[in-house]
């Protein structure tokens, strides 16, 4: 059952990658890679400190959740950035970004309780919510910085 869940997450993630409109693929690649980088660092920090354990792993020498940190969560960050409500109010933007960590936290909490894929040692669900929210805002900041319009100086 647990392996089926991992395969399903991979299938959904790959489908999500394939469904990205062609005009946004460059932006999606940048966000995807940035999110993988952030996840790699934070995932190692959490696992090495013994806060979370992943008893069933895809890779023997990688003690983090390869599926979540290198595929599923970066896809979520891609869609969050590509469909970000730029023209909406600050409250709508905050709620939009809060919806993603809320959904991911609920899913992770369910997986932690019902499967051997995740074991919280000293970790709590609110740390997941907070870390996902912060990293999504980091990816948004990076996205807007990386794809900002070039400012042309009047001196040239």
Q: What is the pLDDT of residues 33-90, one digit of tens each?
A: 999 999 999 998 999 999 999 887 777 677 788 888 899 999 999 999 999 998 999 9
Q: What is the pTM of this model?
A: 0.86
53, containing H or E segment: strand 52-53
State how far the Cα of 133 lies from the Cα of 107, in Å rounded to an integer: 15
Mean pLDDT of 138-153: 80
By C-alpha distance, which of 150, 152, 139, 141 is closest to 28? 139
DSSP letter assigned to residue 155: T
Q: Is 21 helix (H, G, I), strand (E, B) or coil?
A: coil
């Amino acid at each position: 059952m647990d392996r089926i869940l991992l395969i399903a997450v991979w299938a959904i993630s790959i489908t999500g990658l394939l469904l990205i409109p062609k005009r946004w693929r460059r932006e999606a690649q940048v966000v995807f890679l940035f999110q993988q980088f952030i996840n790699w660092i934070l995932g190692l920090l959490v696992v090495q400190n013994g806060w979370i354990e992943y008893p069933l792993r895809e890779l023997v020498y990688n003690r983090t959740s390869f599926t979540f940190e290198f595929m599923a969560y970066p896809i979520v960050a891609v869609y969050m950035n590509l469909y970000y409500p730029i023209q909406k109010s600050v409250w709508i933007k905050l709620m939009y970004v809060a919806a993603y960590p809320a959904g991911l936290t609920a899913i992770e909490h369910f997986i932690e309780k019902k499967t051997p894929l995740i074991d919280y040692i000293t970790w709590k669900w609110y740390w997941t919510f907070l870390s996902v929210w912060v990293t999504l805002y980091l990816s948004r900041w990076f996205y807007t910085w990386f794809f900002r319009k070039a400012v042309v100086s009047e001196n040239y």
